[in-house]
Amino acid sequence: MTRLHTRNLLVILLLALTLTLLTNASTSQAAPSASTTILINEFIATPTNSEAIELCNATDAPIDVSGWTIDWGYGSTTIDASQIVPANGYLVLNDDNTGDIGISNDGTVLSIKDLSSTVIDSVAYGDDGGAPKPEYNYSTARVPNCIDADNDAADWNIDDSPTMGSANDGPASALGSSTITINEVTGESGASFVELYNSGSSSVDLSNWRISVDDSYDIPSGQSIAAGGFWVLDEANFPQYFNMDAHGDNIYLFNNTKERVDQIGWNSDPGTGNSWNRLPDGAGAHNGWREDLTPLTAQSVTKGYTNVPSGEQAPDVATTTPADGATDVAIDANIIVTFSEAVNVTGNWFLIDCTKSGQRQVADTTVTGGPTTYTIDPTADFTAVESCHITIYKDNVTDQDTDDPPDSMEADFVWDFSTVGAPPPCSTIPQIQGTDYWSNCQGHQDNIQGCITGVSAKGFYFQDVNGDGDPNSSDGIYAYFYSSWDNPNGLAPGDLVSVSGMVTEYYDTTEFANSSSDPLHVNVLGNCTLPPPVVILPDDDPAADLMTLYEQYEGMRVKMSFDGWVVGATRRYRSRYPAGDPEIAFVDHGSSIPDYTRVFEDDYPGYQGISYLSGGLGHNLPDLDFGDNLAGTNITGVLGYQFSKYALLVDSDPALTTVDNQDVSTDVTPLDPEKKQFDVCNFNVENLFDNIDDGQGDWGDWAPGYPTSGSAEGAAEYQAKIDAVATVFVDKMKSCMVVGVEEVEGKQQVYDNLAAAVTVKDPAHTWQAAYVESGDSRDISQGFLWREDVTKVSITPVSGSPYTGWVSDGVLDFVRTPPDGLFRFYAGSTDEIDLHFYAVHFKSKRSNSSCTTPDCTDKREKEAADLRDILSHHQQAGENALGGGDFNDTIGSSPINILDGSTDSKNLFYDLDHDQRWSYVFSGESEVLDHMYLTMNLYQEQTPGWGHDFGPIHCDADFPSTERASDHDPVRALFSRCVTVTAPENAKIVANAGVNGIDLNWDGVSLSASYQVWESANPYFSPDPQTDTPLAETENTTYTDENSLGDPATNHYYTITAVNACGNASALSNRIGEFDFALTPGN
């Protein structure tokens, strides 16, 4: 890799000698030049709470590194004051003497910079360089100690016994010293393997050799590899965290003394059914960390056999004119595409997409040439100063030979160019913002002036003092620093500043963004008068495009008047500000959305029709519930664009008019002690973590008391959270007999604390709790709480056999391993029933490198398929099962559609009307995330058997953060025993033509769920409860027929049926007429 400086032992010795003489000559001389003396010597990347970096000093004088910067590419932190690296000694940097360190587990460029931001030393590892990435609790260390040969692959090795604070004494790197190489690999799920090859002339004993991919596999004793032979490690034998990623990873090979002898890496997927191969066997470099550095070739799997280059190659694009990245392309230029072989092109085989002149397909051009070289002549010329992105679609290009497969291109081919013309002026905020949805001034910009209009927890907004007078371009912009920024220079509204740094588009927000490679520089030039606010209207059209409405005001000071109702209760996001960052979602009464209705995600997608009020500039907002009135006149602030929605960030505590309307009902019918009933519930309790850093990934800004482990403040916050959740269990869920919980720290003590708190609030019962380890990097787990009157038969993690035999592909894809709780109700009685309860928590929508879709839908689709298959197994085995939890997807999404495709189970939310289907409110949109799927043998109500009733308990989602225990509502399924019920007796009229109508009553029937009232003008009528419709259905033993008055010529006759929990009716009661006498059935 390229360094900014060169070091060797001779230079170090000469400088050390010179500097020692200077120091002896005058005690006021500065310390030795750090650029030749301070090295990053060792670092630990995982677990999160143990991240640490060791510095070494090779001189005889101490060096002060206070205020220096540790940078890891996507973030940085500053070393605390009074931090000295002693002469010929070491300094270990961690969270105790340095800001929050966030070293990547997968790889990055880790560097240290002095006070002038000069890079003093750096190491590129893992995905980004030749040094190896450390495993869990291991370190990556320089060996030999404190020596830099400017070769990251050779200078570093893994140390499984870290020596932080002392000399590194582990084995060195010995890349290329062995005849054994990593020869072929694939990370394809279900088919992963690592193949080793021996290029030598004699057999090699592999006993105690090591293969490392995030976790170590130590080859057992007695394993060897013959000369010219192969040895394969299959996925079935991978250790637990040996997580090979098909899309990009690194593999390291160590000999039996743990010298690293070979390594490879890749940053793209070789394709389904393919693997990465050395061609020929054993060829290439031994220090590779990308496929092109070894090199590796993607082709069909030849596991355990010689790698042979593929004969027929897929067609591909060989050259293009203009080339990728070309600039100053003439506006009348043609596009020339040359393929690697003769091809046929069909349909719209290309798309030219330009930022100004728009899109062009085949019909918009004239195509000539072929079959190898094609010329594309656009009908309309390009526009000056625009960027164009071209895609050649693989499915529309096939080769002309008959040696197939492959026949078509392996992937779409894309490239970019820009047209001729002067670069856009980028010297002011309006010029940077421009009139498009994105900026044409992305990249570094210097000395952009503006007046600060608001300071957020992570940056500030500033606005051009004069503006450009163009209503189509914004005069304001956001400057983002980092999540732990604390405004060290005291920037405030009314400061006139000059900003230099990188302009970028972050989720469609044009902003200055701080980075280690181009840090933001802000100079305060003086004071300024805040620009007058521009009037904007609330979003009152759910069909309107939000960017069309508001993009021209992004980042500007605005004012809005509104009068509406709250659809998203006040949510307070964590922030350094005392009030947090409160946000309220509301709909204005001028909207086409009916007043006081709920905005459902599937009715109005994309936050359209909703307006947002935020206190993100350090101001408070009232705590409001769903349905409360919210009004304000000329409320001023800055219009920010935050993750697909625009929010008015108020610039003072606003004068708002609010009305506390009727809350959403949280009433739940408790279990009836007179009936045979049981209930099960599910509850995502939202980040129930204790205040102790256990080193299991459990410590972050979601943990109480963060960043100080064990603090009294954290303990109080933790206890308050425990008490709030326990209150929901008892007061809202009515001590539901079994509760599956999600988002709880994977620690038995936390579960026990919650069970104890519930027992205190519910002294009629004793509660127990258990969980299974989920494997989640943040230690998020799922588990159960249950009462003493329920028999816990078993709680088993869903991993391995027998569960792999129940899913269609034989592979379990749960990101967080769920528990299978087998619970028994009414044990030992004739009503005994067993229920398998799966508490699941699907992958979040936060993307990472393991996902192939931006919001990780692909992961949740696999999890849904696994749960579907497991429930089908229980259904077909005649067993009762329920899968419930936080599915992180809504009704109508592809994962939920996968579950709905099964005929063996059903989502209980489909028992409810559309306007009753919600358990979560996100940015004002109500949706179902917390589903319950029940196997059909329990869902289909039969007599004798069990009937069910289902519903969410709306005690959280519609209430502000300060009044709720979680952001999810619990959901509950109530089961009632269905038996044959007898006909009601003693039906009679107790008031003839009473004030409100004819009053009826009758004797109650044991185990009935409700009663049907039947009416007719025929005294001997005989209704059929299976086909006819009753006059009314009630849970009471009384009823008033209000429609019976006013017609003295008509007589009314009644009979009653009792209905059990499964909906089956009894025989008819005695019939009664308008007068209190019994009727005898006639012919």
Query: Which domains are delineated in the chain?
Result: 9-159 (2.60.40.1260), 180-300 (2.60.40.1260), 317-419 (2.60.40.1220), 429-527 (2.40.50.140), 534-659 (2.40.50), 679-796+859-977 (3.60.10.10), 979-1083 (2.60.40.10)
- State how far the alpha carbon of 579 is from the alpha carbons of 347, 701, 960, in Å: 58, 16, 13
Structure tokens at 1018: 């025929």
> What's the confidence (pLDDT) of residue 589?
96
Residue 702 confidence (pLDDT): 87
Q: What is the mean pLDDT of residues 385-390?
A: 91
Quote the pLDDT of residue 642: 80
Give the sheet arrangement for strand 373-378, strand by strand.
317-321, 335-339, 373-378, 365-369
Q: Is 364 helix (H, G, I), strand (E, B) or coil?
A: helix
User: What is the reported pLDDT for 28?
Assistant: 30
pLDDT in tens, 748-779: 999 999 999 999 999 999 999 999 999 998 99
The β-bridge partners of 101 are none
Q: Is the pLDDT of residue 994 over 70?
A: no
Using alpha carbons, select from 1062, 1067, 808 the residue that is nearest to residue 949. Answer: 1062
pLDDT reported for residue 606: 67
Residue 19 has pLDDT above 50, yes or no: no
With CA atoms as reference, report the closest residue to 499 among 581, 555, 421.
555
How would residue 13 be classed by pLDDT, with cut points 50, 70 and 90?
very low
What would the two tokens of residue 1068 be? 């008819």
Please report which confidence band the pLDDT of residue 124 belongs to, taking 50, 70 and 90 as the band edges. Answer: very high
Q: Is the pLDDT of residue 34 over 60?
A: no
CA 899 to chain centre: 21
Please tell me whether residue 866 adopts helix, strand or coil conformation.
helix
Residue 1020 main-chain phi, psi, to 5 deg? -110, 30
Between 28 and 378, the more confident residue is 378
Q: CA–CA separation, 887 vs 901, rounded Å? A: 16
Q: Are 181 and 194 in contact (CB under 8 A)?
A: no
Cα-flanking dihedrals φ and ψ of residue 699, to 5°? -115, 115
Among 771-780, 940-949, 981-990, top mean pLDDT goes to: 771-780
CA-based torsion, 843, 847, 848, 849: positive or negative: positive
Residue closest to 345 by CA, chosen among 388, 408, 405, 413? 408
* Average confidence (pLDDT) over 953-968: 96
Pick 183 or 977 by higher pLDDT: 183
Task: Find where tokens 């519903």 sit.
Answer: 951
Other CB atoms within a 10 A radius of the CB of residue 340 amount to: 15
CA distance 516 to 72: 8
Round to whole Å and give the CA distance between 618 and 582. Answer: 9
**Residue 915 class from Cβ within 10 Å (0-12 exposed, 13-18 middle, 19+ buried)?**
exposed
Those residues whose C-beta lies under 8 Å from the C-beta of residue 1000, and which sit 6 or more positions away, are 987, 988, 989, 990, 1013, 1038, 1039, 1040, 1041, 1054, 1056, 1072
Residue 6 identity (one-letter amino acid): T
What does the alpha-carbon distance between residue 60 and residue 39 come to, in Å, rounded to a whole number?
15
Better pLDDT: 807 or 1024? 807
Least confident of 125-129, 501-505, 606-610, 824-828: 606-610
pLDDT score for 601: 83
pLDDT of 35-54, one tens digit each?
Answer: 458 999 999 988 766 789 99
pLDDT higher than 80, residue 980:
no
Reading the block at residue 710, the tokens are 């064990």
Q: Is the pLDDT of residue 280 over 90?
A: no
Residue where the block lists tokens 């109080």: 716
Name the residue among 524, 546, 528 with its Cα closest to residue 536: 546
SS3 853: coil
Partnered with residue 413 across adjacent β-strands are 392
In 3D space, the residue among 332, 344, 642 whose CA is nearest the CA of residue 509 turns out to be: 642
Say yes or no to pLDDT of 117 above 80.
yes
- For the record, the structure tokens of 237 come out as 């034998």
Residue 2 has pLDDT above 50, yes or no: no
Please, which residues have CB within 8 angstroms of residue 921's CB and are 6 or more apart in sequence? Answer: 567, 568, 569, 626, 927, 957, 958
Please give the share of the chain, as a percent, with pLDDT higher than 70.
Answer: 93
For residues 271 and 305, which has the higher predicted lDDT (pLDDT)? 271
CB 205 within 8 A of CB 234: no
492-530 pLDDT, tens digit each: 999 999 999 999 988 789 999 998 888 999 999 999 999
Q: 720-749 burial, b for 16+ CB within 10 Å, e for fewer?
A: ebbebbbbbbbebbbbbbbbbbbbbbbbee
pLDDT at 684: 98
Q: What is the 3-state secondary structure (H, E, C) of 99-136?
A: CCCCCCCCEEEEEEECCCCCEEEEEEEECCCCECCCCC
CA angle 689, 693, 698 (to 5 degrees): 50
Asked if residues 189 and 246 have their Cβ atoms less than 8 Å apart, the reply is yes
4 pLDDT more than 60: no
Sheet hosting strand 90-93, strand order edge to edge: 90-93, 52-57, 38-44, 139-142, 156-159
Q: Is the pLDDT of residue 1075 over 90?
A: no
The owner of tokens 């690697």 is 340
Q: Which residue has the tokens 């009135």?
A: 629
Question: What is the share, in percent, of the chain residues with pLDDT greater than 90?
Answer: 66
**Distant-in-sequence contacts of 285-288, Cβ < 8 A, 24+ apart:** 286/175, 286/176, 286/181, 286/261, 286/262, 287/130, 287/153, 287/154, 287/175, 287/176, 287/263, 288/263, 288/264
| Residue 941 clears pLDDT 90, i.e. is over it | no
pLDDT digit string, tens, across residues 214-270: 888 999 998 999 888 899 998 888 887 788 888 999 999 999 999 999 999 999 999
ω into 519 cis (within 30 of 0): no
Directed axis angle between helix 712-727 and helix 748-761, to 10°? Answer: 50
For residue 1021, what are its two tokens?
């009528």
d(CA 968, CA 920): 5
Distances (CA, A) of 749 to 702, 707, 770, 785: 18, 21, 10, 13
Most distant pair of Cα atoms in the chain: their distance: 130
Q: How many residues does the chain have?
A: 1083
Residue that is written with structure tokens 């990053």 in the block: 40
Distance CA 470, CA 743 (A): 49
* Residue 166: both structure tokens together: 């002392």
Name which residue leads in pLDDT, 991 or 878.
878
Cβ distance 168 to 145 under 8 Å?
yes
pLDDT, position 312 = 62
**Alpha carbon distance 371, 129 (integer Å):** 41
Interstrand relation of 581-588 and 611-614 (parallel, antiparallel or unpaired): antiparallel
Assess whether pLDDT exceeds 90 at residue 834.
yes
308 confidence band (pLDDT: 50, 70, 90): low
- Residue 996: per-residue pLDDT: 65
Q: How far apart are CA 934 and CA 352, in angstroms?
A: 50
Q: Are strands 881-886 and 833-841 parallel, antiparallel or unpaired?
A: parallel
243/188 Cα distance (integer angstroms): 11
Alpha-carbon distance of 1014 to 1072, in angstroms, equals 11
If you average pLDDT over residues 695-713, what whole number do you get?
A: 91
Which two three-digit tokens encode residue 742? 């999600």
Give the pLDDT score at 33.
40
Given a cut of 90, whether residue 667 has pLDDT beyond it is: no
Does this model's pTM top 0.85? My answer is: no
Whose tokens are 């009305």? That residue is 659
- The amino acid occupying position 291 is E
Which two tokens mark 1066? 């009894």
How many CA atoms lie less than 13 Å away from 968 in the CB half-sphere? 24
pLDDT above 80: residue 847: no
Angle at 508 between CA 505 and CA 511, to 5 degrees: 40
Q: What is the mean pLDDT of the chain?
A: 89
- Cα torsion 278, 279, 283, 284: sign: negative
- For the segment 401-412, the average pLDDT, to the nearest whole number, is 80
Contact status, residue 176 vs residue 199, Cβ threshold 8 Å: no
- Predicted confidence band at 423 (pLDDT cuts at 50, 70, 90)? low
CA-wise closest residue to 255 among 282, 219, 231: 219
User: How far from 683 is each of 729, 736, 787, 939, 1024, CA to CA, in Å?
Assistant: 9, 11, 16, 21, 42
Q: Is residue 311 over pLDDT 70?
A: no
Task: Write the CA distances from 413 to 299, 355, 393, 595, integer angstroms.
Answer: 18, 19, 7, 50
User: Which residue would you say has higher pLDDT here, 822 or 699?
Assistant: 822
The DSSP letter of residue 49 is: G
Q: Please tell me the number of Cα atoms within 13 Å of 856 on its side-chain side.
A: 20
Pair 772, 797: CB distance under 8 Å: yes
DSSP category for residue 39: E
